[in-house]
């Protein structure tokens, strides 16, 4: 089996699964309970935050556990909008965000907020100059995806953060779900207020994640109840999930140090091999992209045909975001980049992990080099 859909989800590390199982059986007490079992669970939860904080160079008080990227983006975006609506009602994001961000902003628009969706250039990037031009005296939030989940294009978020230093009343949120453990993002320099992480993108477990929230920053909670997670995320804490998240993050960051260059080499191998296949158009610019995502189109072919044909050969790839892949619409990311409907309708995404091997990439390319010309002959 060759798995090249790691942007949808990664295979959890066995050590992560083991740590989750051990914590589930040993520290099953409710962290809010006053007895010894509850206290031990609470202490373990706090320890996981200290471990994550040490890896990211932040304070443990700046970590809020969530169920993953969708909840994290919603909490950061809606929590900010509701908290600061007395100050202003204008929000800025891009036209190439993940569905969880786009839909959160659309929901806020229905409630009366005004949203500017910045359109990228043909490279897929927006610029700090575009953000500056969109700012008004009513702007309270800028939210930008770091690594695009469909194309792998890296946004210049640190430059945007530098710009926003001059606008202290505007909060800056980054969707770092695809970038975490693949593309560095400095949190300690104070330019970013909120960052979303999702564990299953770096070999953790589905249903777990966290946001970074700068100390002193206030959000309006989306859930109400017992006031867990600093009164921002009520509900009994998932202690075992937190243990697994901390373990996965540590292991994935160690692999970043060991295998980042190898991952970049594999991505370049894919780009070079695909560029030699007649009928293929590359949508991922090599110089602006993360080391693990390659997006390409075959304009005369439905992507489902390629995906199913590869799946029969036990090679697994995808079209666009897994959250949107069952919808028949063309990729909103590629449309926003101006590539045209036919190309946006025929996009395929290959995504790697630190566990992907050179042999797997070579075999996948060999299959594509034979399969695509054959299928193009059929649709002529």
Residues serving a catalytic function are 323
Among 181, 184, 174, CA closest to 199: 181
N residues, the chain: 380
Q: Which two tokens stand for residue 102?
A: 């786009």
- Alpha helices in the chain, H assignment, sequence order: 14-26, 36-56, 69-84, 99-110, 128-134, 157-164, 228-231, 239-275, 303-312, 332-336, 341-345, 358-379
Burial of 258 (0-12, 13-18, 19+ CB in 10 A): exposed
Separation between Cα atoms, residue 76 and residue 193, nearest integer Å: 9
Q: What is d(CA 221, CA 78) in angstroms, rounded to the nearest whole number?
A: 9
CA-nearest of 360, 348, 379, 183 to 274 is: 348
How many whole angstroms separate alpha carbon 91 and alpha carbon 48?
33
Residues 6+ apart with CB under 8 A from 336: 94, 95, 96, 119, 120
Cβ pair 150, 320 in contact under 8 A: yes
Which residues are within 8 A (CB) of 365 and not within 5 positions of it... i.e. 6 or more apart? 269, 270, 273, 274
- Start-to-end CA distance of the chain, whole Å, equals 31
Nearest of 346, 85, 363, 32 to residue 40 by alpha carbon? 32
Three-class SS of residue 97? coil
């Amino acid at each position: 089996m060759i798995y090249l859909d790691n942007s949808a989800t990664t295979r959890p590390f066995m050590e992560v699964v083991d740590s989750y199982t051990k914590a589930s059986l040993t520290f099953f007490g409710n962290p809010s309970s006053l007895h010894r079992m509850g206290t031990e669970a609470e202490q373990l939860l706090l320890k996981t935050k200290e471990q994550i904080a040490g890896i990211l160079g932040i304070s443990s008080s700046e970590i809020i556990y969530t169920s993953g990227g969708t909840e994290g983006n919603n909490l950061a975006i809606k929590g900010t909008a509701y908290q600061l609506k007395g100050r202003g009602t204008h929000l800025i994001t891009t036209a190439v965000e993940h569905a969880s961000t786009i839909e959160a902003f659309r929901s806020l628009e229905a409630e009366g907020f005004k949203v500017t969706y910045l359109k990228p250039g043909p490279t897929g990037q927006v610029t700090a100059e575009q953000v500056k031009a969109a700012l008004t005296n009513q702007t309270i939030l800028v939210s930008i995806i770091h690594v695009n989940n469909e194309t792998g294009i890296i946004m210049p978020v640190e430059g945007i953060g530098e710009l926003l230093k001059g606008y202290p009343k505007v909060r800056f949120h980054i969707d770092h779900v695809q970038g975490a453990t693949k593309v560095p993002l400095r949190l300690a320099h104070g330019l970013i207020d909120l960052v979303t992480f999702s564990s299953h993108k770096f070999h953790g477990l589905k249903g777990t994640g966290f946001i970074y929230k700068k100390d002193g920053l206030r959000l309006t909670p989306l859930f109400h109840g017992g006031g867990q997670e600093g009164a921002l995320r009520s509900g009994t804490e998932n202690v075992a999930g937190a243990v697994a998240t901390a373990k996965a993050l540590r292991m994935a960051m160690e692999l970043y140090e060991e295998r980042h260059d190898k991952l970049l080499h594999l991505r370049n191998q894919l780009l070079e091999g695909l560029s030699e296949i007649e009928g293929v158009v590359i949508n991922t610019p090599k110089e602006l992209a993360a080391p693990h995502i390659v997006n390409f189109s075959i304009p005369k072919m439905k992507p489902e045909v390629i995906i199913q044909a590869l799946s029969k050969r036990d090679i697994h790839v995808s079209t666009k975001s897994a959250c949107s892949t069952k919808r028949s619409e063309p990729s909103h990311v590629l449309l926003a980049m101006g590539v045209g409907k036919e190309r946006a309708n025929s996009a395929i995404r290959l995504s790697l992990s630190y566990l992907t091997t050179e042999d797997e990439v070579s075999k996948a390319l060999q299959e594509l080099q034979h399969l695509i010309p054959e299928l193009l002959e059929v649709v002529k």
